[in-house]
Amino acid sequence: MITRRSLMKYSLGAAGAAMLSTPFVARAQAGVPISLDFRIYGGNAPFFLGSAQGIFEQLGFVPTFDGAAGSAESVRRVATGTHQFGFADVATLVEFAVSNPEDTPKLIMGVFDHGPQTLLSIGAPIASLEDLKGKRLGIGANSAATKLMPALMKLNGIAEGEIEFVNVDVRVRDTLLLQKEVDAVVCFDYTSIFNLVESGVSRDDMHMLHFSDFGFNFPANSLIASQKMIDEQPDLCRAVALGVARSWRAAYADPAAAVDAVVAQEPLLVKEVELQRLQFVLDTHVATASVKANGLGHVDSARMAAGTALMQTGFGWAIDPALESYYDPRFLPEAAELALA
pLDDT band at 23 (very low <50, low <70, confident <90, very high): low
Amino acid letter, 157: G
Closest alpha carbon to 105 in 218, 229, 220, 219? 229
Examine residue 42 and state whether it is found in any structural domain, yes or no: yes
| Packed helices 71-80 and 144-155: angle between N→C axes, nearest 10 degrees | 110
CA 55 to chain centre: 19
Residue 5's pLDDT is: 36
Residue 4 in this model has a pLDDT that exceeds 50: no
Q: Of 214, 229, 263, which one is at a domain's C-terminal end?
A: 214
Task: Identify the domain containing residue 187 by its residue range.
Answer: 117-214
Number of domains in the chain: 2
Query: Is residue 12 within 8 Å of 19, Cβ to Cβ?
Result: yes
Q: Give residue-wise pLDDT tens across range 144-190.
A: 788 888 888 888 889 989 999 999 888 899 999 999 999 999 999 99
DSSP of 69-103: SSHHHHHHHHHHTS-SEEEEEHHHHHHHHHH-TTT
Residue 31 in this model has a pLDDT that exceeds 60: yes
Q: Give residue-wise pLDDT tens across range 296-321.
A: 999 999 999 999 998 898 888 999 99
Number of Cβ within 10 Å of residue 5's Cβ equals: 11
Examine residue 26 and state whether it is found in any structural domain, yes or no: no
Burial of 267 (0-12, 13-18, 19+ CB in 10 A): exposed
Residue 228 in this model has a pLDDT that exceeds 80: yes
Q: Of 214, 240, 270, which one is at a domain's C-terminal end?
A: 214
pLDDT band at 22 (very low <50, low <70, confident <90, very high): low
Examine residue 178 and state whether it is found in any structural domain, yes or no: yes
How far, in Å, CA of 233 to CA of 230, rounded?
6
Examine residue 176 and state whether it is found in any structural domain, yes or no: yes
Q: Which residues contact 46 (CB under 8 A, 6 or more apart)?
A: 247, 248, 250, 251, 258, 278
How far, in Å, CA of 223 to CA of 103, rounded?
16
Mean residue pLDDT of the chain comes to 90
Q: How far is CA 76 from CA 70, 276, 339, in A?
A: 10, 30, 31
Q: What is the mean pLDDT of residues 326-337?
A: 98
pTM score of the predicted model: 0.88
Q: Do 76 and 134 share a domain, yes or no?
A: no
What HEC string does 204-237 produce? HHEEEEEHHHHCCCCCCEEEEECHHHHHHCHHHH
How far, in Å, CA of 108 to CA of 103, rounded?
15
Stated as kind and residue range, the H or E segment containing 164 is: strand 164-167
Residue 2's pLDDT is: 30
Residue 192 belongs to domain with CATH number: 3.40.190.10
Q: Of 214, 237, 256, which one is at a domain's C-terminal end?
A: 214
Q: Do 224 and 90 share a domain, yes or no?
A: yes
Residue 88, beta-bridge partner list: 222
